[in-house]
Amino acid sequence: MNIKPQVLVIDDDAVVGRSFDRVLSEKGYEVSTALSGEEALQTIENAEFDVVFTDIKMPGMDGLEVAERIKVKCPWTPVVVITGYGTANNEARASVLGLNGFVRKPLTPEIIESITLKALYETEEVEAPHNKPEMAAAAEVETVKKTSAMRKAGTFAKNVGLFFAAPFIALGYIIALPFVGFYMFAKLGYQAYAKRHPSA
């Protein structure tokens, strides 16, 4: 099982993919590249990725169409647009698609690393709980288990407490019994005397 974060870079310029690979591989990521949208969609059919970067202007399918298809198939996967053709229209389309970033080229190693971290952490904190119901269900089951365990522990503690307290409770009854008996005997005697001497 590969525990390295999986990154896919889609760009018809192979230099961009190599730049991502060089920067991120040193940081513990595994980087795959695709030179077109069609190749990227085929790659995603056979693998899961933690974050996807895509250029916009490419031969054939453009990057925003690729991003839209990726979001339909894997809505929890963060997709970041990297482009040298940033326009207000493209940014608006990216926003409507719910993409995780829109970054203009050229990219420095610092930018590559920071946008990757940002995409991953934003997904973990915001998107994952809503888009992966099995995670929420697992958390709910775990909460139920903890609550049940706490109740059992509370019941056990009460039983132990009663077990140790029982001798003292019994001793209290033994001590109090003569006084209760004396009180009842005196009360009955007074009632009998009052019946015989009503005027007393």
| pTM (predicted TM-score) | 0.59
More confident residue, 159 or 59: 59
Structural domain boundaries, residue 37: 6-131
Angle, CA 41 vertex, CA 36 and CA 44 arms, to 5°: 125
> Is there a single domain that holds both residue 26 and residue 121?
yes
> Which of the four pLDDT bands, split at 50, 70 and 90, describes residue 29?
very high
Is 58 within a domain?
yes
Contacts of 65 (CB under 8 A, 6+ apart): 37
Is 100 within a domain?
yes
Nearest Cα neighbor of 115 from 54, 62, 37 is: 54
Q: Which helix (H) or strand (E) holds 20?
A: helix 14-25
Last residue of a domain, one of 71, 105, 131: 131
Residue 67 CA to residue 98 CA, distance in Å, equals 10
> Is there a single domain that holds both residue 22 and residue 60?
yes
Last residue of a domain, one of 131, 166, 185: 131
pLDDT tens sequence across 112-163: 999 999 988 875 543 433 344 434 434 443 443 444 445 445 544 555 555 5
